[in-house]
Amino acid sequence: MLNATWLETFTTLCETEHFTQAAERLNMTQPGVSQHLRKLEQQVGHGLISQHGKSFSLTPAGEVVFELGLSRRAEEKRLRDAIEADDRNAGPVHIACSGSFAMLLYPTLLPWMRAAPELSVHLEAAPQAEILAGLLEGRFDLGVLGADPDHARLEAKNLGREELCLVLPADAADTPMSFADLEARGFISHPDGYSYADDLLRLNFPDDYLGADRLSVRGSVNQIGQIPAPVAKGIGYTLLPRSGVEAFADKASLSVFQLPKRRWHELWLVVRRGRCLSARARYARDLVEEAADLLR
């Protein structure tokens, strides 16, 4: 690669068409300008100027190198402009989290998106392992995980925790609920539902709960926003993090039944260690924290 300093000296010399003026513009001596020229010619392997007394003209190789110098300078200016124009309302930002937290977060992002036409927000609901991999690979600016990843290349901030909820129809809020009662209603399952059952139901019904594969299933849904819908209509029960309940449009038709032993999942905001976040990523981080505050 050509030496950038020598190339800039040569480009300035071509613009001024005078060694002394080039030296003054670059705050150098005239011999210094000549030395840079000779070193650049050695690096290129061709003469770059033809001198005619105190003036000079460019050789064919010099013309090409001058064009390169101007192009390099323009590219550097575009780079500096892009760095200095760190606008929170322009450019892409990529966030990954669980499906239930995505439902809670997305409404807080919409007013920002509406007010910023040049902003591009990408919110991905993904499994924990995929979020972790995407953060390490640089595909996500921000990720929300259920545990501190404790990874050398990642930084994590605890946002608090959200409760794992037993979700029933609103009219069942004050009804005593045994495991047999739940089995009679039937479980509305979903991709994370069985692990939630192993977590919460085994904790509260250790003598009766025989495993997720033995549950009486009334139905299954793989769209996070629709999981509570049958329960809101009086059909079955389900298990969801609090964010999935809070984000449901017909939340008034649901109730969260308080079991004797409660379970919480932590929320950790994770970024690449040492990564300087853009203004838009920093603002997105603030909105993530704002959404997490809704669960307290």
Helix axes 279-293 and 99-115, enclosed angle (nearest 10): 130
Predicted pLDDT at 206: 95
Per-residue pLDDT band for 125 (boundaries 50, 70, 90) equals confident
Radius of gyration (C-alpha) of the chain in whole angstroms: 31
Strands 187-189 and 238-241: unpaired
User: Looking at the chain, how many residues does it have?
Assistant: 296
Per the CATH hierarchy, to which homologous superfamily does domain 163-263 belong? Periplasmic binding protein-like II (3.40.190.10)
- Every domain of the chain and the residues it spans: 4-84, 94-160+265-293, 163-263
Sign of the CA dihedral with 212 first, then 216, 220, and 225 last:
negative
Q: Which bin fits 35, alpha (ψ -120 to 50), beta or left (φ > 0)?
A: alpha
SS (H, E, C) 73-88: HHHHHHHHHHHHCCCC
Contacts of residue 170, Cβ cutoff 8 Å, sequence gap at least 6: 232, 252, 253, 254, 255
Predicted pLDDT at 76: 87
Helix spans in the chain (H): 4-16, 19-26, 30-44, 60-84, 99-115, 128-137, 179-185, 193-204, 229-232, 242-246, 279-293
Q: Mean of the pLDDT values across residues 251-259?
A: 95
- In CATH terms, 4-84 corresponds, of 1.25.40.80, 3.30.360.10, 1.10.10.10, 1.20.210.10, to 1.10.10.10
Predicted pLDDT at 80: 81
Coil, strand or helix at 217: strand
Class of the domain covering 94-160+265-293: alpha beta
- Would the pLDDT of 36 be above 80? yes
Contacts of residue 76, Cβ cutoff 8 Å, sequence gap at least 6: none
Mean pLDDT of the residues in the chain: 92
Predicted pLDDT at 258: 93
For the stretch 153-209, pLDDT in tens is 999 999 999 999 999 999 987 788 899 999 999 999 998 899 999 999 999 999 999
Contacts of residue 84, Cβ cutoff 8 Å, sequence gap at least 6: none
Predicted pLDDT at 14: 93
Domain 94-160+265-293 and domain 163-263 have a common topology:
yes
Predicted pLDDT at 84: 67
Half-sphere exposure of 239 (CA within 13 A, CB side): 25
Predicted pLDDT at 110: 94
